[in-house]
Copies of this chain bind each other. A is one copy, B any other.
């Protein structure tokens, strides 16, 4: 009952030497991709054709990118309500995502789920659901399968700071540590649960990662707006998971720019200050990483423009497809809920 399998020599070398140019570009590409997809949602949502809630991760792209870049094919991920970035970074089907948000037949959940129910099993994205905390044990179950089968896969579970208040999070930490599951917890601490700040929900001054540590889980804490740092921590954590050392936990500090649910800004309603928002805005993970590419690799505007153009074209095509696609046919029956 072991899933131990040495991390590839390549990734070990990369870990030692820091990311190579290809990886730096990959991180940027992933973040930009997520950003552009969500900005497209922002642009189109007012048309009222996406008739379901959307939880955007604009400003929080680095965790998805850094973690996904530390995985290898076959690895798996699950998420919650704010899952677009996690899904897209696994290279999951963009057409399926837009079609799902538009409620169309080719949607990744056939229109039955909407934006909060993304899935692409072929790419290892096992699913996301909007009950906060619920995918945490389910991802542990997926890792448990890997442990039982020794298939060498690592499973990532993304969660927020709010999710860290659920009992099932604690129960899963205990079980994952007990069974030494190849499970990587990635906690995106964006300071808010809907409009509720940390201080009305958790005692101040104790990190969420400390709870994982108390369960005997290896932890990393760091800047969730720095894709390279995330990739570095995730690479070490994934290697530990894959080596059979048991679960690992990352707590990443980051910030959501737009409203909890929906396409707009909401700094006006008073649950957070404009100063706080501006501080985090200045830590834009994309701008920062772009500067790195310019400084370190001498990337020029043409390169950025080419990348953006390519991604934008892909996104536009997906939206066009989704808009043109048929709605699912209205012949659902009770049989549709049984395999």
Which of B165, B166, B167, B214 is A206 in contact with, Cβ under 8 Å?
B214
Q: In whole Å, how far is A187's beta carbon from the nearest beta carbon of chain B? A: 14
Please encode chain A, from 196 to 211, with 1 for each CB lying within 8 Å of some chain B CB and 0 for all others: 0000111101100011
Give, as a whole number of angstroms, the nearest-CB distance from A246 to chain B.
Answer: 8
Residue A320 is within 8 A (CB to CB) of chain B in the complex: no
A215 near B205 with CB under 8 A, answer: no
A24 at the interface (CB under 8 A from B): no
A43-97 residues at the B interface, CB under 8 angstroms: none
A169 vs B215: C-alpha distance when bound (angstroms): 14
Contact with B along A145-179 (1 / 0, CB 8 A): 00000000000000000000111111100100110
Residue numbers of A with Cβ under 8 A of B are 165-171, 174, 177-178, 200-203, 205-206, 210-211, 213-216
Name the residue of chain B whose CB is nearest to the CB of A167. B167
Expressed in whole angstroms, the Cα–Cα distance for A26 and B211 within the complex equals 38
Q: Which secondary structure dominates chain A's binding surface?
A: helix
| Chain B contacts for A177, CB-based, 8 A | 203, 206
In the complex, A216→B203 CA distance in Å?
Answer: 7
Give every chain B residue within 8 A of A213 (Cβ-Cβ): 214
Contact check, B216 vs A205: say whether CB atoms are below 8 A apart: yes
Among the interface residues A168, A169, A200, A215, which one has the most CB atoms of the partner chain B within 10 A?
A215
A178 touches B206 (CB 8 A): no
Which residues on the B side are within 8 Å of A214 (C-beta)?
A: 206, 210-211, 213-214
How far, in angstroms, from A56 to B174 measured CA to CA in the complex?
Answer: 28
Q: Please indicate which of the listed interface residues A170, A205, A206 has the most CB atoms of chain B within 10 Å of its own CB.
A: A170
Cα–Cα distance between A322 and B215 once the two chains are bound (Å): 46
Q: Which residue of B lies closest to A176 (CB)?
A: B203
The reply to whether B216 and A206 form a contact with Cβ atoms under 8 Å apart is yes
Q: Chain B residues near A206 (CB, 8 Å)?
A: 177, 214-216
Known A167-B168, A170-B171, A178-B203; further 12 A-B contacts with Cβ < 8 A:
A165-B171, A165-B174, A167-B169, A167-B170, A169-B170, A170-B170, A174-B202, A174-B203, A178-B200, A203-B215, A203-B216, A211-B211
Q: Please measure, in the bound complex, the distance between the C-alpha atom of A268 and the C-alpha atom of B171, giving whole angstroms.
A: 32
Q: Which residues of B contact A174 (CB under 8 A)?
A: 165, 202-203
A171 and B167 CA atoms in complex are apart in Å by 5
Query: Roughly how many angstroms separate A177 CA and B213 CA in the complex, as a whole number?
Result: 18
